[in-house]
Chains A and B, each alone.
Chain A
């Protein structure tokens, strides 16, 4: 669907965006702008991290839930928008 591609293009065009990957509920990547091996790496690792973050939030307060996860590292930042069926993962270089 053209709409999906258009949305991804808009996100990709944001300042500093290095790559986008979308994984499904099982952690399988279904769309990506990264190379194959990086995609597979991010998909597996981020999926596990999101599940852990989500259970942390819900263990503290069962009425609460994870809405967004952001990792900041020395060299880049990873933003994750989670959902029931998909996770959107965006890698962004920090501002200089």
Chain B
């Protein structure tokens, strides 16, 4: 939220108006130093003395390297894929969810959630520190933003669960169960969002049934607090949309929360839609009531130009409030401004599907994309060439890389979850993580360009 700095000060530190008598000598002081300061400022503005001068405070890391290759043999033997990964808020623990991403009825497949503490001595990459058995495939995972032991997960069956890894007996803290409020279809995204009360966090879940639901933890249950339903007829038609046939539900395959505006979120759908939504939307959803305890609302407010296939991943830029990137099965990474339907930039990343995209947490112009060929491509929008700045092979023999997350504390670590059941922890080079001098300005320039 931008506030005019002048307004702030007129209040406490008056620039105009009366000078209190206690500032005696202030005028003399300024008189004494003014010339010197103006001279120094002018010299500094003209000086080329420091051109190209860089200081190395940190150890320079020249290369990108794979630090750990984490595997859970039991899950790998069953041919389970890593569907989702999440770092704990302390950055020490990485959790991964096992499930299946390909077609077929996997609803009866038993699966698990594993965690590894990378900071603990004696780390065994083949032996997770925690293994939580789950009766059904887990499709999405999210660590609590402040409690390092709580993890929310979305299951193939539509259930949403919160586990507490500190509990030794039964790690399930709360769950939706199979109530009438719960999703009936796989939950592809879970996240924690702040609630109304101070310190309260709600679990957000979104799935292919077209529902986006908010849950509160109440005893051993997740209780529905608010809900949204995405229905085709209520999708804004501010861009040309092909009216596809089939279910009127808009199946959600990806969701991104805005770090800038707590009311806004983005949704990517199975049909290729990318929608800007609002938590405070009032309009009721045109979905037939199905015994839900809360009236579902229609959240979509704006449609971006649709993609040719499911939108697998969306991410808001941490450095610009109007920018986000989206990827899907068309192999393209699209850079969008929130202000217009058409993308600012479409980058061909791969001939295969793209499953994940994440902006760098430290370099405004850098983002990473995970491909169906098992590669993670890193792009630097500051470079003249549109070729990747780095390519990280996940060594999966061509199987897809499904998900990626940057470590929130050690921002040069990137975790990648793969179809072969492995999680690779990559250490990025200084070049890919250290912010350049004018990066934020360059990003601003990109954001202001109008799409052709």
Contact = CB atoms under 8 A, between A and B. Distances in A.
B13 A31 contact: yes
Contact of B13 (A16, A32, A74, A77): A32
A22 B33 CA distance: 12
Nearest to B37: A81
A68 B37 CA distance: 9
B14 to A, nearest CB: 8
B25 interface: yes
Contact of A7 (B3, B23, B30): B30
Contact of A35 (B3, B19, B26, B37): B3
Interface in A62-80: 68, 70, 72, 74-75, 77, 79
Contacts of A95: 44-48
Given A88-B30, A95-B47, A10 B38 contact: yes
B34 A11 contact: yes
A32 B438 CA distance: 26
Interface residues of B, number: 35
Given A33-B15, A39-B13, A95-B46, A4 B26 contact: yes
A36 B12 CA distance: 8
A42 interface: no
Contacts of B15: 5, 8, 31, 33
A92 B33 contact: no
Nearest to A36: B8
A77 B438 CA distance: 15
Contact of A8 (B25, B30, B50, B435): B30
Contacts of A39: 13
Nearest to B55: A74
B36 interface: yes
Interface centre among B5, B25, B46, B50 (most CB of A within 10 A): B5
A10 B34 CA distance: 9
Interface residues on A, range: 35 or more
Contact of B5 (A8, A30, A34): A34
Contacts of A15: 41-42, 45
B384 interface: no
Interface in B1-60: 3, 5-6, 8-9, 12-13, 15-16, 19, 23, 25-27, 29-34, 36-38, 40-42, 44-48, 50
A67 to B, nearest CB: 8
Contact of A14 (B23, B30, B42, B48): B42
B243 interface: no
Interface string B41-81: 11011111010000000000000000000000000000000
Interface string A14-58: 111100001000000111111110010000000000000000000
Contacts of A61: none
Contacts of A29: 13
Nearest to A3: B27
Nearest to B6: A33
B110 to A, nearest CB: 52
A17 B25 contact: no
Contact of B8 (A22, A35, A96): A35
A83 interface: yes
B197 interface: no
B314 to A, nearest CB: 29
A6 B244 CA distance: 66
B41 A11 contact: yes
A60 interface: no
B44 A83 contact: no
8 contacts: A7-B30, A11-B34, A16-B41, A16-B44, A16-B45, A17-B41, A29-B13, A85-B26
Interface of A: 1, 3-5, 7-8, 10-11, 14-17, 22, 29-36, 39, 68, 70, 72, 74-75, 77, 79, 81, 83, 85-86, 88, 90, 92, 94-96
The 5 closest A-B pairs by CB, nearest first: A81-B33, A15-B45, A14-B41, A7-B30, A35-B5
